[in-house]
Amino acid sequence: MSPREGILFVLSGPSGAGKGTVCKALTQRMPELCLSVSVTTRSPRPGEQEGVHYFFRSHQEFEGMIQRGELLEWARVFNNYYGTPRRFVEEKLQAGYDVLLEIDIQGAMQVKQRFPEGVFIFLIPPSATELQARILGRGTETDESFRQRFNAARTELQMMREYDYVVVNDVVEAACDRIQAIVTAEHCSVQRNLQLLSDW
């Protein structure tokens, strides 16, 4: 069988839904899934490491990356810039690996334009009350940034319609099971396996 490209998976959802937590658990159980590390202008939170959670850059450096075309997509989210380094994604896909992007909705819609064959997954918390508890429980936001994130969630939920799948993050391992099932299903889709006909 001829080698084929990997599949691009995009995970978005409101801040505090548990995207970071789920992605970490998912890549532990699926080490073959390549998680893209984004570039951001925001300051590191306690415990966040350069090159692991993000590449932390100044506004000037970020703008340089935009101008040189080094970002696959980028967006301004909660007063900071976030973007996906292009080269990592393109090289991994070409080499046949699946790639996972954990990015905001604006970025996901840009990726959808360029990669309509990508798989777009929306992660939501079980309820608004649980979302509030998770953002506050993380203990990383000021009152103002908590309000910004919590208020944005209602509008963001409406964007679920633009995605292919929705996963409720009630229990982390259960959410990972569902995403893993989506990955398996996408690998079995007829459209992605037409090569089988000619191979036969």
Binding site for ligand ADP (CB under 6 A): 13, 15-21, 134, 137-138, 169, 171-172
Cβ-based nearer residue to ligand ADP, 93 or 103: 103
Beta pairing partners, 84? 73
DSSP string, 156-173: HHHGGGGSSEEEE-SSHH
- State the minimum distance, in angstroms, from the CB of residue 82 to ligand 5GP: 4
- CB nearest ligand 5GP: which residue? 107
Residue ranges binding ligand 5GP (CB under 6 A): 15, 19, 38, 42, 73, 75, 77, 82-84, 102-104, 106-107
Which has the closest alpha carbon to 14: 193, 114, 149, 186? 149
Assign 67 to helix, strand or coil: helix
Side chain identity at residue 174, one-letter code? A
Cβ-based nearer residue to ligand 5GP, 6 or 18: 18
Q: How far is 156 from 142, CA to CA, in rounded Å? A: 21
- State the minimum distance, in angstroms, from the CB of residue 191 to ligand 5GP: 27
Q: How far is 27 from 45, CA to CA, in rounded Å? A: 21
- State the minimum distance, in angstroms, from the CB of residue 102 to ligand 5GP: 5
Question: Contact at 8 Å (CB) between 169 and 177?
Answer: no
Cβ-based nearer residue to ligand 5GP, 38 or 169: 38
Cβ-based nearer residue to ligand ADP, 85 or 145: 145
Cβ-based nearer residue to ligand ADP, 16 or 83: 16
Question: Contact at 8 Å (CB) between 26 and 161?
Answer: no
Cβ-based nearer residue to ligand 5GP, 78 or 194: 78
Q: Which does 118 bind (CB under 5 to 8 A by kind): ligand 5GP, ligand ADP, none?
A: none
3-state helix, strand, coil in the chain (%, to 5): 50, 20, 30
Q: How far is 139 from 45, CA to CA, in rounded Å? A: 10
- CB nearest ligand ADP: which residue? 18
- State the minimum distance, in angstroms, from the CB of residue 20 to ligand ADP: 3
Q: What does the block give as tokens for 111?
A: 């990726």
Q: Which does 103 bind (CB under 5 to 8 A by kind): ligand 5GP, ligand ADP, none?
A: ligand 5GP
